[in-house]
Structure 1
Amino acid sequence: MAVVITLQGVVPADVAVGLSPLAELMACLHSIAEPEHHLDVRPWLERVSAALSEESKSLLTVHAPLWNRRRCRVLLPLALPLGRTLEQELARLEALPLDEFVTVVAPGVHGGVFDTRDLLIDESVQSAYVLSSERRSFSRGELARRLLQAPEQMRAGLLELLRRCAAEFFDAEWARVQHRLESECARVRARIQALPLPEALASLSPNAVVGQNPPAVVFDKLQSLRADLYGRRCLLVPSAHARPHLIVKDDPPYPVVVHFPVEWMDSTNPVERATLAQVRLRLAILSEPARLELCRHLVNEPITTSDLSVRTGMSLPQVSRHLGRLREAGLLTSRRDGRQIYHRLDTDCLMHLVVDVLTSIIR
């Protein structure tokens, strides 16, 4: 399964890069609703959850289907320009024609596959939509009823909740990440001008590849989607909170949106995330019983090759080969002290492997 964006006849001018605080707020709300998907920001999630009012927590639970599994398209940019303030984006949402609001929100409320084309005009489709949403979850069924029976009231409630979140935690968080995201926009724009377009888009994810005939970028995701950009616009929106999810939304007549994660690099504690190939390599290397036995010694203290040979009963060439494989996977650190070389397991890398495995599964 993969998401494929075809680029035949597409030029750099068709691709816009910019910020969307509303999209970033949705990414934050997703991580609050699905904390098990976001282990690397757990301290931030704990702080935000502790600071939220009880009323906001209750309202977030009610509206969670809008940002849980299938991100609601109305919370991503529907048109240019990018770079508006959150209040400007909320005002645009508030001014959206009510029929259009229902149409664009309905797939997100359902969260699965349902043909909503006749939802506004066919009562039988409306009944089937509510029933199908309810079968997915009680909360989705309730939201589906509200959307069809009182769309203006539902929109007003959603806007009130989003403004509550802005006041309680998001305004401060946006002030923290905005400059980082602006810098990423500048880098992506530069790549779009310097590289072939498929390569520039593939640079948004370590698990993307460039396709040929037609030119395309292929994102490895647990989703099947093929979006043709010819004659359309594509909006690239970076996110500090979307990780590990790269989201591609293709909902004509709106532009294709790629909401892509940006690694927050702390210069005092940089973390280099593993690619899917690296995760597979590390798991394969650790699965070998002899190497796993060596790891039990390497994790406790720096140790030489000869000491490992004595402790495990393996020959020196065997130990050297296994150490080479661990080093190849980035799991081993070595330092020279005089004539001796001491090896130790890179426990930070091993700890991040747990997160990297989860990221590979849920991306």
Structure 2
Amino acid sequence: MVSAIVTARATTVDYSRRMPVLLDLRGAKSSDVTIGTSPISELQACLHSLAEPDHHLDSQSWLMKIDASLPRELRHRLTRFAPLWARRRCRLLLPLSPPLDVEVETEIDRVAHLPEQAFVEAAAYAIQGGSFDPRGAVTRPDEFIAACEARSFSRGELARSLTDDPEAFRGILVRTLEDSVEEFFAKEWGRIQSRLRDEADQTRSRLHGLPLAELISSVSPAARPVQDGRGVRFDKLQNLTVPLRGNHIFLVPSVHGRPHLIVRGEPGFPVVVNYPVAWRGQPPSIDEVRRRLTVLSDPARLNLCRHLVNEAITTSDLARRTNMTRPQVSRHLAQLRSAGLLTSERSGRYVYHRVDVQHLMQIGVELLRVIVR
């Protein structure tokens, strides 16, 4: 999932078409890029995973363990504040200012001391979901609350508590973040911090050898340079433009953020690209997933898979079983092999084929990743 706001908040979003988020690099330079880790971003990714576990199949065992260990009162607060990180990540829980690579306590302290209006607007945008100008939470609180109630009762209640007493709201949120660090995040951050630092170091080393657009695009298969290097396109369901001119951009890797890619560009804050680190190889692009689904959509190839899933079979035997010629079977097998779904092994004079069940099952996971990314 990608989240972003353009400088002109009145921009109309057409959700009927698949459109990109465009990072406009005109006037930007390499020195505008800062690469590093952000523990509060990773904490938000963990909280999102707890709120939306179906998006994070790779972390199911960890999520179940953490959820079972949470004190009841903290679980209640996490549920209450879940709109801040469930669908649209809250800008408060991404790095607010340089430097990166600081302790989580430092980043939480920045949230605690952000000017009140900036705090309210950032929280309001996440609570409502983006279709209401967050400045209205200060100037038109009743309309803001009604817009949130239209989404859900819990969002309406959270919006009301924000507008009624912003500092009390902030105090409870900060305490919730601090308690989450103590209960589970400090241990998890100790486990993954070195991996994230290694990823940041590798990305930083590429800065010297790549043009700016290629450097930013290199962090995700969902991104690519466009307009002769004057922009980066993120293939997502928003029609938004994020200008970089006169601003800084933070490239922040995430483990628990997989498979989501977050791009944020609210006025008054640095642009943030919070990108997932590949754990077992880089996730496929949407075009690669579409190609594998196309291969499987053919009735003849799908029928071959039904024969090949339980036993290894030769080309001749497959032709006999399916009433196809050997050349026809060979062509279909080549398509399955090109999609990474077939293994073949020679035994004497014969070659035996079999469906790679693990890769076949992985297609569902990959499809989910590209949908929610």
TM-score range, shorter chain: over 0.9
Deviation (angstroms), 1:156: 1.0
Q: How many residues align?
A: 355
Q: Distance in 1 between matches of 2:60 and 2:308?
A: 29
Pairing partner for 1:234 from 249, 263, 271: 249
1:66 aligns with 2:84: yes
1:294 aligns with 2:304: yes
Q: Distance in 1 between matches of 2:282 and 2:348?
A: 31
Pairing partner for 2:156 from 116, 122, 141: 141
- Alignment match, 1:337: 347
Deviation (angstroms), 1:272: 5.2
Q: Distance in 2 between matches of 1:215 and 1:320?
A: 46
- Alignment match, 1:201: 216
Q: Is the 8 A contact 1:6 1:214 kept in 2?
A: no
Per-residue CA deviation, residues 25-47 of structure 1 (Å, 9 max, x unaligned), is: 00111111011111222111111
Deviation (angstroms), 1:355: 0.8
Q: Is the 8 A contact 2:122 2:134 kept in 1?
A: no
1:183 aligns with 2:198: yes
1:165 aligns with 2:183: no
Deviation (angstroms), 1:164: 1.4
Amino acid corresponding to residue 222 of structure 1 in structure 2: L
1:46 aligns with 2:51: no
Amino acid corresponding to residue 134 of structure 2 in structure 1: T
Q: Distance in 1 between matches of 2:136 and 2:309?
A: 61
TM-score, scaled relative to structure 1: 0.95
Deviation (angstroms), 1:15: 0.5
Pairing partner for 1:217 from 232, 246, 249: 232
Deviation (angstroms), 1:10: 1.7
1:112 aligns with 2:122: no
Amino acid corresponding to residue 84 of structure 1 in structure 2: V
Q: Distance in 2 between matches of 1:99 and 1:232?
A: 21
Deviation (angstroms), 1:283: 0.6
Q: Distance in 2 between matches of 1:53 and 1:345?
A: 45
- Structure 1 range deviating more: 348-357 or 302-311: 302-311
Pairing partner for 1:32 from 50, 54, 61: 50
Q: Distance in 1 between matches of 2:279 and 2:76?
A: 30
Percent identical: 50
Q: Distance in 1 between matches of 2:348 and 2:213?
A: 50
Q: Distance in 2 between matches of 1:273 and 1:307?
A: 35
Pairing partner for 2:260 from 245, 248, 253: 245
- Alignment match, 2:113: 95
Q: Is the 8 A contact 1:202 1:208 kept in 2?
A: yes
* Cα distance change on mapping 1:242 and 1:59 into 2, 3 Å: same
Q: Please, what is the CA RMSD of the aligned residues? A: 1.4
Amino acid corresponding to residue 69 of structure 2 in structure 1: A
Q: What SS does the aligned partner of 2:253 have?
A: strand
Deviation (angstroms), 1:119: 3.8
Q: Is the 8 A contact 2:221 2:283 kept in 1?
A: no
Q: Distance in 2 between matches of 1:234 and 1:273?
A: 24
Q: Distance in 2 between matches of 1:277 and 1:170?
A: 35
Deviation (angstroms), 1:12: 1.1
Q: Is the 8 A contact 1:331 1:349 kept in 2?
A: yes
Per-residue CA deviation, residues 14-69 of structure 1 (Å, 9 max, x unaligned), is: 00011110110001111110111112221111111111122221111100000011
- Unaligned runs of 5+ residues in structure 2 are 1-18
Q: Is the 8 A contact 2:214 2:229 kept in 1?
A: no
Q: What SS does the aligned partner of 1:194 have?
A: coil
- Unaligned runs of 5+ residues in structure 1 are 266-270
Which structure ranks higher in relative contact order (CA pairs < 8 Å, sequence separation ≥ 6)? 2
Per-residue CA deviation, residues 336-362 of structure 1 (Å, 9 max, x unaligned), is: 222221111111111110011111222
Q: Distance in 1 between matches of 2:44 and 2:174?
A: 12
Deviation (angstroms), 1:303: 1.5
1:262 aligns with 2:277: yes
1:312 aligns with 2:327: no
Amino acid corresponding to residue 329 of structure 1 in structure 2: A
